[in-house]
Each structure stands twice: as structure tokens, then as C-alpha cells.
Structure 1
Amino acid sequence: MHRCLELNEVLQRIARSLGFDPLLKEPLPKRLLNMALTCRAFRGPALDELWRELKDIAVLLRLFSKHRVGRRHGRLVMISPPTEAEWAIFEAYARRVRIIDVKANSVDWHSVMKFHPNKQLFPNLSQIGCFCDDMTRYLPILTQSPVKRLSFSFRTMQNASALAGCVSTCAKTLNALTFIPDPNTCDDEVAESLLIADMFGPLRFLTTVVIGTPHSKTLDCLGALSYLRTLELHVFPIASHYNTEPLPFPVLVEVTINFSSSQSLDAIARLLGRVDGPKLQGIHVLPTQKIPRRNSEQLMDCSGVNEVISQVGKFAELSLLEFDTVEEVWDVPEGGRTLLQHLLPLRRMAQLHLSRIEFRLEVSDLKDIVEAWPNLWSLHLGERVAHNPSRPPPTTQLEDLLILADRCPRLNTIGLLVAVDPERTYDEQRPPFGQSKSGASALCLGPLEKGDYYGAAAFLASVFPRGEVVGQWDLDESDSWSEVSYHGDDRGPGSALDNLYETIKIITGQMARVGLHHDNSCEDCEYCSLLSDDEDVLLDDLSD
């Protein structure tokens, strides 16, 4: 329990369950931790959070005596019936389990159920993730509870049929389904389409669907889900044949499409052309993590960028657009201004994140943005604030974005694509900019190739002294991302340097292993203390 309470995310969930305000600027985690370690009222919520999700269900068998559990064919099995007292302890913990993520078949659950006195093993189970084919035969045991969310993948159509049978048993309560076939082995589109048609038939009340490698017949089946609010498509393929009939989604609010190559952008544009979503508010077009990074001389073919943006412009209620192209797109057909012209009619736009697309903005464009999107609060365009000789020069100046920040009262995040010359310090190449009068923050996106990371962040903190500067950098070739936050205040650029290492937020545990560190390490520095030997163990645990 004590180790559980040391995790900030767990403390935040406990705070919400106990009625605390999670948005307080006070050092809430520290206060909660001190209270939790001294107050018995926190014991129940802490144990609930600790046992809320199981990634290895074999841990439950450790609650029994060693002579009750054995190993057969590499799996744990029950070899003798436990006592009533042992079952009581087991059920006390099993009641707290809400989420099971099954990735390995390490337990013979039929041997457990043979001695279990009750039918339901996990009475409060609401979410199952099954990513191992061998576990399909145990799903009937796990789906006896009213499961609300079910995620699974399969390699063969036989396993898929078994999974479809389990889906039908919890059709009345299921509202979220993740369905990911293996494209390397499940290549029978006819069988897959028939399976999906049978499976989605009783699931009329699904609100969230995530599907991998969908073809046109799969999408046609989704059109019958009239209550669908969230749709996510993984590894969207290049469709050789494509239906042009509209897909009616009357209450669809958010759609996410992951693509595996630049050629599939055309297929995404055709899909968005079919979608009839009068209430669609958010669109995410994101690359998969498997796309290889290429050299700057081999930039992505962006012929489909304009097509996707033009289709997005038809959704009148759209307020969030996120479009990431993985690689820098410099030669947008007909210029970046054409892309904005497709989006300006969207009066409800509040978040616009177009990553790695170079825009050719002018003062007239900034005026159009201010007039078209008065409620805009997060803007990220492919803007460069410093010149790197190895890449094309920037086409606009940071002063224009400062004007935009000062004219949009609700704008609190501006995305900037920073390029740094590795041969010079950032102070030597930065132009003399002023300070933003607004409280907007700057999102500084890499890659900063061997550049002055802290100098760039300190410079942006001086430009946005009342806000926050957040840097996201690809630190090495293994896709280990980290996020570092720098806070400024009203006293100007001097205080930004003083607070350079004040707040460090680590997304993955890779940060300590890639050597991102400042030169003058010291005992009193908060940043150095984060990377101590003891904390490295915690980071390793969090990254698993």
C-alpha cells in the first residue's frame, strides 16, 4: 500500500474518489501522501487502486499456501482445495479487481474454478484485455461478470469465433470493444467480414470501438452502430477497393485514425469523405510507431495532406484537430496557407495541432485566425523559431505568433518547432524577440539534434514569462520520448533561468538511461535527485 501511495497517478485518483479537487495548484500529492500514511481512511481507496488492474493474474495464486499450488506444463495449477479462510482472503482481493490485462497464459484457471465455491471469480470485473490466443478458452470464466469494456486480438479465425461467442454473452452491458486481428495471419477477408457482421449484430449499444486493419466491409458493419461516440482505426490500410456510400454516425464525437505509410493518407481522406457525423468534434490522424524514421533528404510524400484537410473542413462542429505526419513536411502542395483556408470556416475550433507541417503564414493569415477562432486555446503549427543551416530557413517570425497570442485572450498553448544549430549555442543564434503579454504557454517540439536543449527552453521561457514552456524531444533512435517543463514568472527572463530545473515530468523511464543531464550536477539540485539510484528503480517499474 505504501508503494502504491508513492505514485502520483494513484494519489490523484484517490483524491477524486475522496472529494479532493485535483486541479489545486498546492503541492497536493505531498499533502495526500502525508495524510494517507497516517490516516486509516486512505487504506481502502489505496488498496482499491493497488488491485484495480492486474497485468499478471498469477499474483492472486500467491495468496494461497505453497502446497495448494503447483506447476504443470509451465502453468500454475491448483492441486488441492483451499480452506474457507483461504478463499475468503482470495475473494477479498479479487473483489477489488476491475481490469485484467491478459498477455500470457501462466495459470490454468479451469483448475482454480474446479475448487472455487462461487461461479463468479471476479464479481466486479468491468474491463478485460486479452492479447494471447491461448487465453480465449478462459474468457467464458472471466465474462460471467457484467463486463463493460473488452479488448482482444487473435491470430486465427477459430480463436476469433470463440471470442465472438464471449462478446455475445455480455452484449447487454458492453459499451467499448477493441478488435485487433493479426494482418499477417488473418488474411481471409470474407470470413472476417462474416464474423464481424455476426459479432456486431447484438452490440447495438456500443459507444466506443477500436478496430485494427479494417477493410471496407468492416466499415460497413460499423455504420449500423447508431450509438457510437468514439471510433479508432489502427494501421489504416491502402484500400484497393472502396465503397463510396456514406457512413451515418449520428452521435459520433471523436475519431482517431492511425496510418502506417504516407500513401494511406489518400485512403483516410476517402474514409472521412464517407463519414456523416453532424456532431463530430475531434479528429486525430496519427502515425503508427512502426513507421521508420528517414533522413531529412527523404521527406514524406505529402500529396494526401491536402486531401485529408479538405475533408476535415466539412464537419461544422469540429473543435479539435490533431494531424501528425511523423516527418517534416516542407513542400505542401499549393502552400501551407491553402490548408488553413480549408479550416477557417470551422468556427468552433479550439485546438489545432498540425505537427511537422511547415506553414507559410502572413499577417493576413493571423488576422483570419483571430477572427475565425475567437475561442482558440491551443495552437500548434509547424513553425521554426531558429535557423538550422542543414534545413530550409523559416518562412515566418516568432513575433507574428506573439501577436496572435496577445490577440487571442483564451490561447494558452502555442506549439513551436525548434531547430538548433549544433555548432553554436542558442544564445548566439536567437533573434531579439520581445515578451508575450498574455499568459500563453509554448510547446517546443523537437528534434533538437545535439542542440542546446536547456538554452532553447530558457529562451522560450523568457519569451513567454507568464506561462509554461514544455519541450518534447526525441532523444535517441529508440523512440524514447521525454517531456520537460520549465516555468517562468512575471519577473522576466532572469527568473526563467533560475527555475530551469524546477519541474521535470518524465513520461517514460528512458530519461535516466539516455544521458540527458546538465553539466554541473550538484547535491541540492532537484533534477539530480530525480535521477538518483533509488529513483532509477522506480522509473524502471513505471516504464514496464
Structure 2
Amino acid sequence: MHQALLIDEIIQIVLDLCLDFGDGSTLSRASRVCRAWRDPALNRLWHRLIDVTPLLQLIPGLIRVNGVYLQAFESPAHPDLRALRSYSSRVKHIKTRQSVQLHPSVSSLLSSVGNGLFTRLTTAQLSLTNCHSFCPMLGPSDKLERLDLDLGFKNSILPSTNNAASELLGDLPNLTSLSLRGSASEQVLRAVSAVSNLRTLSLRISTSLDSETILAISAFPFLTGLELHAVHIRSTKLAEKWTARGGAPCFPSLKSLSIRARIALIGTILHHMQSDQLQSLYIDIEPVVQSDDSWTALFNIMKDKTPFLHDFTIDHHVDTDPIGLEDSNANDSNNAPVVPNNATAIDFEDMLRFDLVRPLFKLHDLKRLVFDTTPPIVIRDEDFTQIATHWPKLAHLELGTVPTVDPRWVPQTSLKGLVTLSQKSTTLISLVIPIDMITSVDVVIPKQSHPANALRKITITSLTPPDATLMAKSLDTLFPCLQVIDGTSEHEMEWSDIQAMFQGLRAIQLAVRG
């Protein structure tokens, strides 16, 4: 062997290539080339584990009977586990959803191994409904930093998975990121409430989440990222508890919040939050009709509590069938929409409107703004001047898509709005916007665009098919950096023509400049 192949830096490059372009057998053979290559090759081979079966096969006398791993009758009471220790200590990442069932005697044997088995493990992603008996092999672990557990969504809480989760959570001193989904027991919730060193936490545990857990995690001093599914949590009780605690910490370090809940609870959390560094906010609002007052209350809280917000998304969808929208038969009682008992007959103007968003004009650092709503937010051409004025750093804007070809859903924007954006919102890189093609034909398009306009991607939806020639020429003129154009799927042929014409115009420009 050439001496250069014994230089550590070169060994690393060779083995990385084996990892990227070969399979496990390549690294296995590399580990047998020489002593200098053995450990680096094996470390890469066992670095990431998606199947724990190879490890279990290293336990002397272990057999599988009816899907359960157990020790053979003639196997030693204290088998030699040196090989298991050697290889498990090389694993840094585990991700498995495979079914692994260990006999209690095997679990007990593995949990009794001194100093643990996975001494270098840093991340683990497990489906505990399939491998809860495997958990004793993971602990104790002072290196595990990120843990993702699927507890299973069942009508009732699964004791086996929840017991395994709570035991594992109790012995991870350096855990900084935790994700739980499924149905969690009170024991698991109490274990979560005690892991106060967490930096990021995701709790998608349906109705098993309680207000006491939210109260506990709000005091975590280092928590910067939080995801909650809390549709069932009522805001009044939580607000009372926070008020009763006086000056106790309440999300003092939060920078990112993703929450699915009723709008009142979202407002309550933001109101009591002590951090003024929130940069990302994603709200998935329970699909019920919201009044103007509830939207305004939320946005007024955000105005004061999220001054440095960069990224804001509203995800809110109302069933369009029961919504009473103006149409040509509005006065015909036989054609009036049928409204369920728990719904309210509203028209398009009663939904989220851009004028309700005005409190957010104070958030001058916004870079990404998404209104993923059904129906789309009501916005008019004249509103785009306000967007450019108050959000000068905006790079990504989504104003929703036309959800149906129902003629009652008519966008209030036209090509005139695109003209305003092209001239005044020059930092915009991507845009999703619904447009009324009928009123767009009368819009006068300027002969030249703003030289600093940076838009590269646009998605346009409409009720009626676009005029391919008009749209291609308009987009070519307004957005000199535009590269990607998407449109309504129902008008696929027209948008294919637009894309072809647009590329043709750009090719002509290149030829002229060349």
C-alpha cells in the first residue's frame, strides 16, 4: 500500500467516497484492508443505523421465536457482549420504525450493561409502538441530544410505549431537542415537564396535551423553538394560571413558534410570552369562522409582542360549501346555501381581509409572509403600495390560491397589482397571487421595469383562463429576473403557452444583447 494512503486526511476522503458511492460491503471490505483503516471504516459503516437486527445478531445465543428475540435455553447466563459493545459504541444516529420485540430477560440483560451500549449516540428517531422493548439499550446516554418518539395514535394510551418513553426521558441529561407525537400518558407529560434544558420541543400529542404541561414548558430557560397542537386547550384557564404565577418566566427565549390552536389561545400565549425575539410564527387556526374582532385582537398582540418577526404564516381553511357567497341566485330562496347548525352564513367580505392586517405594518423586518387561507385573503390592487412601504425587506409573499373554479370566488387583484409590486417591492423573490384575468386586460403595462426588481418565481391562479400573449409579455416586462412561472392547474394548456412565449421573449433579448 502506498504510504499516502496511510495519511489520516487521505483515509478520510477515501472512506467518505466509499460511504457516498458504495454500499455497506464496500466499507466492510475497507475495514479489513489494514489496521489503520479498520476503525475509521467501521465508524462510518455503523455511523447511522436504520435496522437494529445486525446489532442483536452480535449477542451470543440470541434466537427469534414467533417474532420475539430471546436467549436460547443452552446459552450462557452472562454472554460475552464485547462485540455488541464495540459496534454499538460506533453508532451516532438511529432511525427505525421496524418491529423489534425483545423478551423481558433480554431487555434486562441489555439494560444492565455498565456505562450503556450507545455511548456515542447523538440522535434517535423511534416508533415505540414497534420497538419499545429496544429502549433499554439506549440508556443511560450522556451524549444523546435529539430524540424523536412516535407513541402511536390509538383510542387509548398504550402503556408499553409510554412507559418506555418516560423511562428513557428520565436519563438523558444533555437532551436539547425532543419531538413527541401520538397519545401521551400523564407519566410522559411529567417527564417532559422535567427536561428543562431543551432548546427545541415539538408536542403533537393530540388531546393528551394539558395546560399544566404548557405551563411547565413555558418556564424552560433555553427553549427557542416550540411546536404545539393544542386545539382543545382553552385560553382562559391558561391565562389565569400565568397571571397567578406573577413574574415567573414565560417563554423567555422563544424565537420560533408553530402552533395549531384556536385563535384566542394563540393570542394568550403571545400576550404572556416574555421573549421579544420571536422571529418565526406559524399559526394553524382551528377551522371555524373567525370574527373581525378576533383577527384584530391577535394582530394587535403581535404588533407589540413580535417586533423582530421575520417569518409569518397563517394556515386557516374554512369549508367553502356552507359559506354564503354572493352569486347570481342570491335572492332565490331555493338556491340559498344550506348552513349547518354549528356554522355561520357569511359572505366573502366577512373573511380575512387585508385591512385587518394593518397592525402588522409595524413589523418592518418581515421577510416571509404567507396567507394559506380558504377563501384567500381579500386584497386589492391599491393594497400593494402599503405592502411595499411597510415591509421593505419582504422576499417571499403568498396571498393564497383560487381554491375552485366556482364563479363566486373572484380575486380582487389584477395585473395592476403586479405593476405596483414590480416598481415598489424590489426585494421580492417569490410571489403567489390570485388574479382576476377579466379586469387585467384593461391594465396598462409600463414599457420598462424597475432595474432593481429581483422576483425570480411567480405562481398565479385565476378563475378564467389567462390571455397567453398578454400574460407572457407582461411578466417579461415587469420582472427582468423572473425564471419560474406556475399557474392554475385547470388552465394547464394556457400556462404552457405562457411559459413557452416567455422563454421565447427571453431568448430574443439574449440574442439582441449578444
Class of the TM-score when normalised by the shorter of the 2 chains: 0.5 to 0.7
Alpha-carbon deviation of 1:282? 0.8
Partner of 1:57: 52
CA contact (8 A) 1:461 1:469 kept: no
Residues 433, 238 of structure 1: alpha-carbon distance in 2 compared, 3 angstrom cutoff? farther
Secondary structure (helix, strand or coil) at the match of 1:338 reads helix
Identity between Structure 1 and Structure 2 (%)? 19
Secondary structure (helix, strand or coil) at the match of 2:134 reads helix
Partner of 1:217: 212
Using the alignment, how far apart are the partners of 1:173 and 1:486 within structure 2? Answer: 57
Secondary structure (helix, strand or coil) at the match of 1:130 reads strand
1:439 equivalenced with 2:454 (yes/no): yes
Code of the residue aligned with 1:152 in structure 2: it is L
Using the alignment, how far apart are the partners of 2:189 and 2:17 within structure 1? Answer: 47
1:47-446 equivalences in 2 (<5 Å): 53-58=48-53, 60-61=55-56, 70-77=63-70, 79=72, 91-92=86-87, 95-102=90-97, 104-106=99-101, 111=106, 114=109, 120-133=116-129, 135-146=131-142, 147-154=144-151, 155-156=157-158, 160-170=162-172, 172-182=173-183, 192=186, 196-197=189-190, 199-201=192-194, 203-211=195-203, 212-213=205-206, 214-239=209-234, 242-244=237-239, 245=242, 248-259=250-261, 264-286=262-284, 301-303=289-291, 304-314=294-304, 315-327=306-318, 331=348, 333=350, 336-356=353-373, 357-363=376-382, 365-382=383-400, 388=405, 390-417=407-434, 437=450, 438-444=453-459
CA contact (8 A) 1:468 1:486 kept: no
Give me the TM-score of the superposition, normalised by structure 2. Answer: 0.64
Using the alignment, how far apart are the partners of 2:211 and 2:283 within structure 1? Answer: 18
Code of the residue aligned with 2:189 in structure 1: it is I
Secondary structure (helix, strand or coil) at the match of 1:248 reads coil
Using the alignment, how far apart are the partners of 1:417 and 1:132 within structure 2? Answer: 44
CA contact (8 A) 1:231 1:254 kept: yes
CA contact (8 A) 1:319 1:348 kept: yes
Alpha-carbon deviation of 1:210? 1.2
Using the alignment, how far apart are the partners of 1:48 and 1:327 within structure 2? Answer: 52
Higher helix proportion (structure 1 or 2): 2
Code of the residue aligned with 1:70 in structure 2: it is I
Alpha-carbon deviation of 1:279? 0.9
Using the alignment, how far apart are the partners of 1:414 and 1:57 within structure 2? Answer: 45
Code of the residue aligned with 1:372 in structure 2: it is H
Residues 138, 217 of structure 1: alpha-carbon distance in 2 compared, 3 angstrom cutoff? same
Secondary structure (helix, strand or coil) at the match of 2:362 reads coil
Aligned mate of 1:494, from 476, 488, 504: 504
Residues 382, 110 of structure 1: alpha-carbon distance in 2 compared, 3 angstrom cutoff? same
1:474-485 equivalences in 2 (<5 Å): none
Alpha-carbon deviation of 1:341? 0.3
Deviations 1:489-537 (A, max 9, x none): 9x95426799xxxxxxxxxxxxxxxxxxxxxxxxxxxxxxxxxxxxxxx
Using the alignment, how far apart are the partners of 1:456 and 1:162 within structure 2? Answer: 63
Residues 123, 443 of structure 1: alpha-carbon distance in 2 compared, 3 angstrom cutoff? farther
Using the alignment, how far apart are the partners of 2:47 and 2:463 within structure 1? Answer: 41
Secondary structure (helix, strand or coil) at the match of 1:125 reads coil
Give me the TM-score of the superposition, normalised by structure 1. Answer: 0.61
Aligned pairs, number: 420
CA contact (8 A) 1:103 1:132 kept: no
Alpha-carbon deviation of 1:284? 0.6
Secondary structure (helix, strand or coil) at the match of 2:100 reads coil
Residues 401, 429 of structure 1: alpha-carbon distance in 2 compared, 3 angstrom cutoff? closer
Secondary structure (helix, strand or coil) at the match of 2:417 reads helix
Alpha-carbon deviation of 1:159? 5.1
Alpha-carbon deviation of 1:281? 0.9
Residues 158, 112 of structure 1: alpha-carbon distance in 2 compared, 3 angstrom cutoff? closer
Residues 89, 177 of structure 1: alpha-carbon distance in 2 compared, 3 angstrom cutoff? closer
1:467 equivalenced with 2:482 (yes/no): yes
Secondary structure (helix, strand or coil) at the match of 1:390 reads coil
Alpha-carbon deviation of 1:149? 1.5
Deviations 1:148-207 (A, max 9, x none): 12233442467535533322211x211112234517xx5xxxxx2x76345433x23211
CA contact (8 A) 1:58 1:107 kept: no
Residues 243, 455 of structure 1: alpha-carbon distance in 2 compared, 3 angstrom cutoff? farther
Using the alignment, how far apart are the partners of 2:55 and 2:473 within structure 1? Answer: 52
Code of the residue aligned with 1:273 in structure 2: it is H
Residues 59, 285 of structure 1: alpha-carbon distance in 2 compared, 3 angstrom cutoff? farther
Alpha-carbon deviation of 1:412? 0.8
Using the alignment, how far apart are the partners of 1:455 and 1:78 within structure 2? Answer: 75
Secondary structure (helix, strand or coil) at the match of 2:398 reads strand
Alpha-carbon deviation of 1:353? 0.9
Larger displacement relative to structure 2 (437-446 or 107-116):
107-116
